Structures are given as structure tokens and as C-alpha cells.
Amino acid sequence: MVADRKVEMNWMEFREQIWPIKDRLYRLAYRLVNDRAEAEDVVQEVMIKVWKQGQDLKLIRNLEAWCLKLTRNQALDKLKGGYRKRKTALDNLQEPRTAANVQPDQQAEWQDAYQHVREIMNSLPPDYQSVVQLRDIEGLSYQEIAEALDMTLAQVKTNLFRARKRLREAMEKRSAYGL
């Protein structure tokens, strides 16, 4: 083996360090591109980049944040590259399950509200979507989000505040109209 040749990561390291976060990467990519196939492509491209980094990964302080950052950048590159397929009908997304004892009218009402929240989320700017996804859905800390999205802590908090405010206002407007 030539000394200056980059050594790819071995499968065991990849499986232990990267594979457990693939679903989180997918959810972030999906949140940004809003298409299952495109999100899968984004994650696949990120996984290939990570694999090719090999031993250089040991120099990265927070591997998960770095992978989230790669995913976000790759997804935004797809959107900038002419791909802008925003769907309002989210048939690809699996809705949360409801309890067996819930009445059909209650279940229909809940699913309608869920769909409305998804539509509001899709209307938010990508930075807002990313922050809400990582904080409220993935449960990352503000610092982890700042590292993953290459933002300051203040930007993360501001974006999260504004995104939540928009979500709240849209939901209040919806309930005021009795929808």
C-alpha cells in the first residue's frame, strides 16, 4: 500500500459509528427535500463521502454533527441544483399510529391536524425546518445543532424561536377558523 493513499474506513467502524445515525440523516434530508427518493439519494451520497474519508474521520471531534452538516449541505445543494419538488400531499410519510380505542372521528380529526402541521413545516425556510427537525424531533442540544448546521448558538435559538412562532400562529389561525 502506498503511504500517501487514503485508507477507507473498515466496515466494523462504519457500522458502529455511522450506521446508527443513518435514520436521523434521512429524516433531516427528507425534511429539506420533501421527497423520499431524493432524501435516500442524499443519505447515500453522504454515506459514500463518509466511507471515503476513512481514517481522517478520527480527526473529527463530533462525527454525528459533521454527518448532519454534510447531509444538510447535500440536501440544500440538491434544492439549489434545480430540484425543488415540494409536495403538499405527503403520501410517502408514515403518519403516527393512533390507539386502538380512538373513535374514527377523533382519529380523522387528529390526522387532519397532523397533515396541517406537516404543510406548515414544509412552508418554513430550510434553516427553520432543519432547526425544528433537529431540536424538537431528533432531540439534539442547541450546541449540537449549531455544530451540525454551522450556525452560532444565537442563530439556532433565533431560528427555533421564529419557526415555533410561525407554527403556533398558523395553528392558532387554523383553530380560529374552526378548521
Residues 22 and 52 in one domain: yes
Residues 31 and 69 in one domain: yes
* Residue pLDDT, tens place only, 114-130: 788 788 888 889 889 88
The answer on pLDDT for 5 being more than 90 is no
Residue 150 lies in a domain: yes
Residue 95 lies in a domain: no
Does residue 112 or residue 85 have the better pLDDT? 112
Residue 179 lies in a domain: yes
The answer on pLDDT for 58 being more than 50 is yes
Q: Are 130 and 79 in contact (CB under 8 A)?
A: no
Residues of the domain holding 167: 103-179
Domain final position from 17, 50, 84: 84
DSSP state of 170: H
Reduced to 3 states (helix: H, G, I; strand: E, B; else coil), residue 107 is: helix
- Which candidate, 79, 82, 119, 114, places its Cα nearest to that of 98? 114
pLDDT tier, 55 (very low <50, low <70, confident <90, very high otherwise): low
Domain total of the chain: 2
The answer on pLDDT for 146 being more than 50 is yes
Residues 118 and 178 in one domain: yes
Q: How far from the centroid of its chain's Cα atoms is residue 141's Cα?
A: 15
